[in-house]
């Protein structure tokens, strides 16, 4: 389940969720590097963060590909095309509650896939 009670966290957009996850992970990794190899960090700059973000993007894209087409499509329409639930319901000619439940199930499946790959929002909170 996506975090819904964290203050200041926008739960209605997957972009915000993924962005917060990537940002917090990058900061945590940078702190680890600073404490262990500060000389290399000065030499390589933000390179470790860039690699980690590329890895995270790859995991997210492959997780989306693992979803059924209808699950992937509803996530993409809602979070990336930023269509409202009502717009999706109208386009698909479905009742609004059906669209809401499909979106909720798709979120859960997506989160499960990410967690199976070792990514968890709660692990990346600062």
Lowest mean pLDDT among 14-23, 44-53, 63-72: 44-53
**Backbone phi and psi for residue 19, each to the nearest 5 degrees, phi listed first:** -60, -45
**For 83, how many CA atoms within 13 A lie in the half-sphere containing its CB?**
18
Q: Stretch 16-27: mean pLDDT, rounded?
A: 76
Question: When comparing pLDDT for 68 and 11, which is higher?
Answer: 68
Residue 117 has pLDDT above 90, yes or no: no
pLDDT of residue 121: 60
Residue ranges per domain, the chain? 14-124
pTM: 0.55
| Architecture of domain 14-124 in this structure | Orthogonal Bundle (1.10)
H helix and E strand count, the chain: 6, 0
Mapping DSSP to helix (H, G, I), strand (E, B) and coil, where does residue 97 land? Answer: helix
pLDDT of residue 45: 54
Residue 88 has pLDDT above 80, yes or no: yes
Question: When comparing pLDDT for 25 and 47, which is higher?
Answer: 25
Q: What is the DSSP string of 100-115?
A: HHHHHHHHHHHHHHHH
Model pLDDT for residues 43-61, shown as the tens digit of each residue: 445 556 666 777 777 888 8
Contact, 30 vs 84, CB < 8 A?
Answer: no
14: number of Cβ within 10 Å: 20
């Amino acid at each position: 389940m996506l975090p819904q009670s964290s203050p200041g966290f926008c739960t209605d957009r997957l972009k915000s969720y993924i962005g917060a996850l990537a940002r917090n992970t990058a900061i945590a990794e940078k702190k680890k590097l600073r404490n262990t190899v500060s000389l290399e960090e000065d030499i390589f700059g933000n390179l470790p963060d860039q690699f980690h973000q590329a890895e995270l993007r790859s995991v997210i894209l492959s997780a989306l590909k693992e979803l059924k087409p209808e699950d992937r499509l509803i996530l993409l329409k809602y979070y990336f095309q930023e269509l409202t639930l009502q717009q999706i319901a109208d386009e698909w000619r479905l009742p609004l509650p059906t669209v809401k439940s499909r979106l909720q199930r798709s979120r859960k499946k997506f989160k499960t896939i990410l967690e199976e790959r070792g990514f968890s929002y709660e692990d990346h909170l600062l």
